[in-house]
Structure formats: C-alpha cells, structure tokens
C-alpha cells in the first residue's frame, strides 16, 4: 500500500482496492506535531493500514525534527506499543 502525504490538508492517506485510510495531524505549537485522528475503511482493517499510516507519520516527525503528541487514541496506543522505536520524538 502506498502512503501519500498531503501537507495542505495535514494528513497522510492510504488507498487500496477502493478503500481508504487517513491519519490527520496539526501543529499546535512550533516544533510540535499532534496526530489527531486515524480512520481506516472497514475493507482495509486488519491489513496493517493504520500501522503503516502511523509509521509514516512518525517517520515524518523524526525527519522534520518535530516532537510528537498523540491526541488520537489509536496513535497513543501505537506509540505505547512501539515506545522503544519512537521515544526520541515524543513530546
């Protein structure tokens, strides 16, 4: 699955077989990105789409030297599960 990053809409998206998913974010302050919402169509669930979106978003944060907040429940759980991989970017 291919991840697209739309900076104007502040979201990462994924599309496959007519189904879509998204990870939305905002910049609440300088140097901070907050992942605010994750949604994946039922047709993509259970295939790792949300994890791929999360990974893409967190890699973007690291590349841009941003600190991460996770208002989104899914993202908070993802970061907690993978804390060792992303501890350096957490706000």
Note whether 66 and 29 are within 8 A (CB). Answer: no
Note whether 33 and 66 are within 8 A (CB). Answer: yes
**pLDDT > 80? residue 1:** no
- The single residue listed with the structure tokens 């996770």 is 70
Number of domains in the chain: 1
Tell me the pLDDT tens digit for each residue of 33-87.
999 999 999 999 999 999 999 999 999 999 999 999 999 999 999 999 999 999 9
Cα–Cα distance measured from residue 91 to residue 81, given in angstroms and rounded to the nearest whole number:
16
pTM (2 d.p.) = 0.94
Cα–Cα distance measured from residue 52 to residue 30, given in angstroms and rounded to the nearest whole number:
26
CATH number of the domain enclosing 30: 3.40.630.30
What does DSSP assign to residue 89? G
Range of the domain at 47: 2-89
CA angle 27, 72, 8 (to 5 degrees): 40
């Amino acid at each position: 699955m291919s991840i697209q990053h739309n900076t104007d809409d502040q979201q990462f998206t994924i599309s496959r077989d007519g189904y879509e998913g998204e990870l939305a974010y905002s910049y609440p302050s300088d140097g901070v990105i907050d992942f605010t919402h994750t949604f994946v169509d039922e047709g993509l669930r259970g295939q790792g789409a949300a994890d791929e979106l999360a990974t893409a978003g967190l890699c973007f944060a690291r590349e841009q030297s941003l600190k991460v907040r996770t208002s989104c429940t899914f993202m908070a759980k993802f970061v907690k599960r993978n804390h060792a991989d992303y501890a350096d970017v957490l706000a």
